[in-house]
Amino acid sequence: MIKILVAEDEALSRMTLIHHLRRKLSDALIEGVSNGREAVDRAEKLNPELIFMDIEMPLLNGLEAATIIHKRQPETKIVFLTAFDRFDYAVGALRAGGNDYLLKPFDKAQIEDCLRKALHLENDDTDAETDDQSPFQIQFSVWLKNHYMDDVSLEQAADAMGMSAFYFSRLFRTSYNQTFLEYLTAYRVERAAELLRMTDIPVREIAPRVGYADANYFSKVFKRHTGETPTLYRQKNTVL
């Protein structure tokens, strides 16, 4: 049985990575820890073939933990994770015994490439369904359903996810292949279209219900996305 350890202090990031690994390696034993000291202790007991090691962690950082693990278990492969694109981190990772280095946020293809190189896996095109939502997407979708009608910003969304704006922005683009604003706008237009089709609420009242205080601006945004004004869209698509 393949054994993998994920050492990552951010709970959502740790859960997301474990989620991807379990989808790819359904028979593997995959465990997670939240700091460098736990990584050292758990690695000694688990003796994993592979460790995904975040660099920035409490108690012991990833480089310190990896140095200890590499001395005790030189056969264990270590892939370092970091949100900081710094050359000195890459050099430190290699010196600490690292086999690979991933810059967060990474996507499914990058994770699978790491697994193939570290565990010598064959390329497999029969993975689980690719339309499953990640834990990040699930958490974000719940937040969005409750806040799309508010005057929200990327910074507020990032804070709600427990992330920095920089990290959230990068993870969002990786997850959705869109910027936060592009996704938010499309979501608001979809909700507005539903209200236009299913209700007789005036356009000026629909605008604030989907996050736009200015009805004229809302109409411009709606037309840009659908090719029609809200009024014309309602005339053509109403189901009342």
Dump pLDDT digits (tens) for 25-77. 989 999 999 999 999 999 999 999 999 999 889 999 999 999 999 999 999 99
pLDDT tens digit sequence for 212-226: 999 999 999 999 999
Handedness of CA 57, 63, 68, 74 (dihedral sign): positive
Predicted confidence at residue 130, as pLDDT, reads 44
| Cα torsion through 202, 208, 209, 211, rounded to 10 | 140
Backbone dihedral angles phi then psi of residue 79, each to the nearest 5 degrees: -110, 120
pTM of the model: 0.61
Highest averaged pLDDT of the listed ranges 81-95, 124-138, 218-232? 218-232
Instruction: Give the start-end residues of each E strand in the chain.
Output: 3-7, 29-33, 50-54, 77-82, 100-103
